[in-house]
Structure 1
Amino acid sequence: MNLGGLQKLEGKNIRANGFRDSLSASKPQAMFHPVAELDNNLVDAWSELAGQASEPNIFYEQWFLRPALERLDHHHDLRLFLLWAGEPRHSQLLGLLPISPESRFGRWPVPHVQNWLHHNCFLGTPLVRKGCEQLFWEQMLKALDNGEWPGFLHINGMTIGGSLDQALRSVCSEQKRRCDLVHSAARALLQSDQDAETYYSETVRGKKRKELRRQAKRLDELGEITFSLHRDAKGLDQWIDEFLQLEQQGWKGHGGSALDSSEETGGFFRDALIGAAAAGQLERHDIRLEGTALAMLVNFHSNRGSFSFKTAFDESFSRFSPGVLLQLENLKILENPSIAWMDSCAAEGHPMIDSLWSGRRHIGRFSIELKGVSRRAIFRGLRLGEDLMAQIKGREVFDPTEV
């Protein structure tokens, strides 16, 4: 290593050590904050934390999580686990995770504590400041051990192989505490140094590209086709109305799972998009025929990451694949130097997005042992039962970190 590189490395180490020393001197404080008692001071610290997060997660940012807490059902004792650098509200916020006690684990009546997810929350990775990953888990596990929380800790929907996963496993190993990856799934991820056109030609097979060209040509024969990209709040209310109506007209609306099928989820969606726009983190795409929306797409950005949140399309035009054509426009995110990757937020094996995006992001569920004789008995009994069921069904949890 040359002298310049060594000086940079030493400077980085000095800054990191100085940060750790300052944390040690100020004595970080952990607390479980009632979700009904949020105020502007906390929201400001929360927003600042999100901007410095080790792993971006828009689903736990304040403009997304607050509307969910206000609009959607949750356990009455749901709390925000907060880790402060020093005195709460008068120091930097180092980490945040919504958690609540649960009486059931899947089909089994097993008490435990779990991070909060809802049907429109597709990632459960905590918001933790860069460099504080290990400290976060140490303080959280200590607080849970010393509290009245039941059973064990279950973290649902965390990125496998990321800095938070690595820190959790390291802390548990040091403390001789079991931390088991109990489920994993791989979903489509868009990440490449290639431009959109090159990526498309090398990822999507020729026969599929030919069919999409044919569909685009046939659609163009029906009238003027326009693609639009919006990154501000101009016309946002009307755009949201169109999106909700478009989704409601399709299979989700018929099945009762569309956002506008209930006042709560429709209101949550509207509040989240308005909040994202105010934070400068919203991106909207649409494809229109003579001004009428055929497909619409919502993306959220956070630091160098992006999340493809929701899409809706007019099913009467399904023979033209307007949703796929819109996703081809979305590939241009590869040419945005401020974005390094986009999470599809889609289920594993999704037939549409998996054929367009070649990357995969592994998401897992982790069960972590808490201290105490009864807690340990609950955890180990459950894990023994899960292992036996997995053997009977011939299933094995895939851990990409072991490949």
Structure 2
Amino acid sequence: MRGLHGWMALRPRWQAMLDARMEPDCIFRQPAWYGARLQHLCDSPDELAFVCAQRGDRLEAVLPLTVDQRPFGAGLMTLREARTPVHAHQLISDLALAPDMDADDLWPELFDWLQGSVAAREIGWDLLRLDGVIAGSGLDRAARSERRPAECSMPLRESAWLDCSGTPEQALAPVSRSHHGNVRRLMRRAQSRGALRFEVVESGPALEAALEQFLQLEASGWKAETGSAIARSDSLSGFYRALARQFADQRTCRIHLLRLDGQAIAAQFALLGARTLHLVKIAYLESEADLAPGHLIMREAIESACADARIDRLSFVTHPPWAHLWKPHIAPVSQHLLFHRSLRGWAIGQLRRWRPAGPAVLPRR
């Protein structure tokens, strides 16, 4: 299935497949994420293709892909590339699976289908680039099960996360005494200026109002000056509003607000899935930068996550430079290149091995 119309037709079955898990699945495996992207971030309504695995009428897996072409080999060839849809606002991708399916078992059949004549008509490709694949995920296990000479795997970046399955004291135990002391000092400084209050907003008109406050905070400071703020872009603001609306239907969108005398000075846009709360975007009021409001709200978010029985992990999604202060666990995020089992795919794989291209550089989040 392809594009917005294909997504609309597939969505009920896709969601029903995930709902059989009895709890929300990873946000990057959910149809809501791709619907928001198709509606607001794609240049073409057919930009995304959805490869489905099913037995009879039962849907067992969905793999979203983008397909494009570009010159290759000094312009002597055209490289047809199918790629997991990673971009600046989606740095992780995965294979959506039915709860009783295992990626290792399903992948050989799915990969064989991708190389067949039917797939060639739908999404002809020479190189399958599995990008944004987090260590231990279903897609990572599937890609590593392929063993052919032309295969390449490389780490691209890292994803940081905190274990919030226990108490706040357990989650924060690895943090240095100096950082604990600094956060307490900043907290006292903030409280000397007014009442400090942390809020978790999940639904209804309050979520819509909190989203607007988040967008205002995200547009403060250097992002306003460079024009890169979400609120400055109709497509980006539409994307985040669509995410909030669609995930709110399952009560899995949260906006954290830290207020000082009623004014929001920090905010986090978070989505819950697979017992992980993903901090998709963070923002703070730069006029209050001397309070380090990003660290103050992080301290509150950790306590809130530890108190929620639905959450085991708090994910930073990426590994931002300041995250090391919270001593997170680190998961590698890799790229796997799989070449078509054809003479053309073999030739491109050989050229790629001898003249590797550098990994794509994604824009700043």
Identity, % of aligned positions: 20
Query: Does 2:135 correspond to 1:150?
Result: no
Shift of 1:192: 5.0
Shift of 1:178: 4.5
8 Å contact kept, 1:100–1:114: yes
Higher strand share: 2
1-structure distance, mates of 2:7, 2:354: 43
Shift of 1:272: 0.7
Query: Does 2:155 correspond to 1:183?
Result: yes
- Report the counterpart of residue 16 of structure 1 in structure 2: none
- Report the counterpart of residue 92 of structure 1 in structure 2: 58
Structure 1 counterpart of 2:349, from 379, 388, 402: 379
Q: Highest CA radius of gyration, 1 or 2?
A: 1
TM-score, normalisation: structure 1: 0.79
- Report the counterpart of residue 160 of structure 1 in structure 2: 135
Higher helix share: 1
Per chain length, whose mean CA-contact separation is higher, i.e. which structure has more relative contact order (CA < 8 Å, sep 6+)? 2
Shift of 1:105: 9.3
Secondary structure in 2 matching 1:111? strand
Shift of 1:56: 4.1
Q: How does 1:340-351 map to 2 (within 5 A)?
A: 340-346=312-318, 348=319, 350-351=320-321
- Report the counterpart of residue 79 of structure 1 in structure 2: 49
Q: How does 1:2-401 map to 2 (within 5 A)?
A: 33-38=1-6, 42-51=10-19, 56-74=25-43, 76-86=46-56, 91-104=57-70, 110-130=79-99, 131-146=101-116, 147-148=119-120, 149-170=124-145, 172-173=146-147, 176=148, 178-191=150-163, 193-200=165-172, 202-332=173-303, 333-346=305-318, 348=319, 350-386=320-356
Shift of 1:187: 2.3
1-structure distance, mates of 2:275, 2:151: 29
Shift of 1:257: 2.2
Structure 1 stretch displaced more, 181-190 or 261-270:
181-190
8 Å contact kept, 2:150–2:349: no
What value does the CA root-mean-square deviation take over the aligned residues? 2.7
Shift of 1:284: 1.8
TM-score, normalisation: structure 2: 0.86
Secondary structure in 2 matching 1:235? helix
Change (3 A) 1:322 1:213: same
Give the count of matched residue pairs.
347
2-structure distance, mates of 1:370, 1:319: 54
Residue type at the aligned position of 2:139: L
Secondary structure in 2 matching 1:123? coil
8 Å contact kept, 1:231–1:282: yes
Secondary structure in 1 matching 2:115? helix
- Report the counterpart of residue 25 of structure 1 in structure 2: none
8 Å contact kept, 1:55–1:163: no
Q: Which runs of 5+ in 1 are unaligned?
A: 1-32, 391-403
Change (3 A) 1:273 1:107: farther
Change (3 A) 1:105 1:280: farther
2-structure distance, mates of 1:216, 1:55: 34
Change (3 A) 1:261 1:226: same
